[in-house]
Amino acid sequence: MARLTQSYVHGVSDIPLIGQTVGAFFDAAARRWAKSDALIVRHQKVRWTYAELKRKVDDFAAGLLALGFVPGDRVGIWSPNNAEWVITQLATAKAGLILVNINPAYRLAEADYALNKVACKALVTASQFKTSDYVGMLNQLTAEGRLPHLQTIIRIGGAASGMLGFDDVPGLAGPEHHERLTQLGEELQFDEPINIQFTSGTTGYPKGATLTHHNILNNGFFIGETMKLSEKDRVCIPVPLYHCFGMVLGNLACITHGSAMVYPGEGFDPLAVLETVAEEKCTGLYGVPTMFIAELGHADFKKFDLSSLRTGIMAGSPCPIEVMKRVVSEMHMEDVTICYGMTETSPVSFQTSPADPLEKRVGSVGRIHPHVEVKIVDAEGRIVPPGETGELCTRGYSVMRGYWDDAEKTSEAIDAARWMHTGDLARLDEEGYCNIVGRIKDMVIRGGENIYPREIEEFLYRHPKVQDVQVIGVPDPKYGEELCAWIRLKSGAACTEEEIRGFCQGQIAHYKIPRYVKFVDAFPMTVTGKIQKYLMREEARRELGLVEEKTA
């Protein structure tokens, strides 16, 4: 590759983009690899071939049609990882329905907002997960009349009052519904929306990134190509399916290459991951850095034979260089890759390759993905020279349709030339390798979860004693970052850290609840009245004795 003279790269490839819907591609894959393992779910004792998975997907999709849903309707899924999740993902795609991913950690206020923002007509839900009682929350929301669009709730695990059982849906379909499903396979277009994923914004309210068949099918395919996946691979997927990491990098990368999807549990448990890799002889393993740290640090780590591993993905937050080196040497993952991207870009734009020099594989996020463009620009929008820092902008097949029902926020993110402005600060070297060096926005990445402080601030403003609040991210050795809330109380009010955290319990996801709370009389500001969050971060680090981790 010629050395760059400006910070612009585009992914040249001899392999064309896939011009099919997810359903059409999956049908062809199921025929090609009919007898190969498609899905292994350890905690459910599920082991299905591609042919078996296709039958279950088709039956569930026909059942959704029998319930009266038509292409374009939104169907939510609120569940941890399980076999029903991937069935729903593929069945909605085949039926032309738009799958809406609801974060399993969401509580009342968040679920209320998400389901109503996109007018979900149906919801596939688990009963509960950890401390989240999904059925209880849904009963409360429906009893209060807060879900006017929701017509059908499908419960994983069996029918309940006012809810259909997941396993009962296929039986609702007749021959005409299966025939209609076949017709839809010929009618659906690959540029149609297939998936909505919520990503928080600086307004404090989640935005629904709307992705198409073309977006996520191609991204999953080229991720798998970079990893050199084949029908011989078995990929352990402990990352959540509601996120692009699970459903695109995981499920679609596997399905497009005939590989087996292996789920070690409902949620992440380091011991279950180690046991699953050893038992199933997995060749690939996914995770955010905190997951790999937990696996490497487990007391029984050395007892497990992980020699079957060769590849995998570490992504979701900056990857500590020393952790990457240990993953390569101690977990046998010589071909492990790092990915960078965002939900709005399906998600991957950069990925390291097994052929890259080790220092580039552990010290960068790799080079541009096939058929994708990236430029690094300064504050005036001009492309900067190689080695200089600027905002990363990306363009190509992977850029979302837009934010659901939010033209204003879409136009702020995607300019007239279709460049997606990521808000991330990055630099390209002369060979085209990318380093992510910071964030223009104040986004906090805690254990792979993107958190926008404004959303937490908006919620904390509801507390009757809070006059003003600012939320920042501070370094954390386990999660990469943790939340710290600086709070100005109303005149004469008294409050404790425990009271603030108690106010958050059950209303916002656990990972959004500030670990640190500091009561202050004022915030550091510029003469024009702008809050100086960088000074707040520096002071919080000093007071709490926190140290920044060195990352790639």
CATH code, 456 = 3.30.300.30
* Co-location of 195 and 118 in the same domain: yes
Q: What percent of the chain has pLDDT over 70?
A: 97
Asked, for residue 418, whether it belongs to a domain, the answer is no
Q: How many residues does the chain have?
A: 552
| Domains of the chain: total | 2
pLDDT range class, residue 549, cuts 50, 70, 90: low
Average confidence (pLDDT) over 244-272: 97
* Co-location of 394 and 486 in the same domain: no
* Alpha helix positions (H), 160-212: 175-187
Residue 425 confidence (pLDDT): 84
* Co-location of 390 and 459 in the same domain: no
Q: What is the CATH number of the domain that holds 182?
A: 3.40.50.12780
| Enclosing domain of residue 521 | 444-544
pLDDT digits (tens, 9 = 90+) for 479-528: 999 999 999 898 899 999 999 999 999 999 999 999 999 999 988 875 44
pLDDT digits (tens, 9 = 90+) for 123-136: 999 999 999 999 99
Instruction: Look at the pTM and tell me if it is higher than 0.95.
Output: no
pLDDT range class, residue 200, cuts 50, 70, 90: low
* Co-location of 373 and 505 in the same domain: no
The set of long-range contacts for 532-539, using a CB threshold of 8 Å and a minimum separation of 24, is 533/442, 533/470, 533/472, 536/470, 536/472, 536/486, 537/472, 537/473, 537/474
* Co-location of 135 and 73 in the same domain: yes
pLDDT digits (tens, 9 = 90+) for 241-254: 999 999 999 999 99
Give the integer Cα–Cα distance in Å for 218 and 197.
17
Q: Tell me the CA end-to-end span of the chain in Å, nearest whole number.
A: 23
Average confidence (pLDDT) over 386-395: 95
Give the integer Cα–Cα distance in Å for 245 and 334.
21
String of b and e for 512-551 (b: at least 16 CB within 10 Å)? bbbbbbbeeeeebeeeeeebebeebbebbbeebebeebeb
Q: How would you list the strands of the sheet with 193-199, edge to edge?
A: 164-165, 152-155, 122-125, 74-78, 98-102, 193-199, 207-212, 402-403
Asked, for residue 176, whether it belongs to a domain, the answer is yes
Asked, for residue 1, whether it belongs to a domain, the answer is no
Copy the structure tokens of residue 79.
């569940």
Residue 454 has pLDDT above 90, yes or no: no
* Co-location of 348 and 244 in the same domain: yes
Asked, for residue 9, whether it belongs to a domain, the answer is no
pLDDT range class, residue 349, cuts 50, 70, 90: very high
Give the integer Cα–Cα distance in Å for 328 and 362.
10
Which residues face 193 on adjacent strands? 212
Give the integer Cα–Cα distance in Å for 96 and 229.
28
* Co-location of 408 and 454 in the same domain: no
Mean pLDDT score of the chain: 94
Residue 16 confidence (pLDDT): 98
Which residues face 49 on adjacent strands? 37
Bigger pLDDT: 224 vs 363: 224
Asked, for residue 2, whether it belongs to a domain, the answer is no
pLDDT digits (tens, 9 = 90+) for 13-52: 999 999 999 999 999 999 999 999 999 999 999 999 999 9
| Cβ pair 232, 10 in contact under 8 A | no
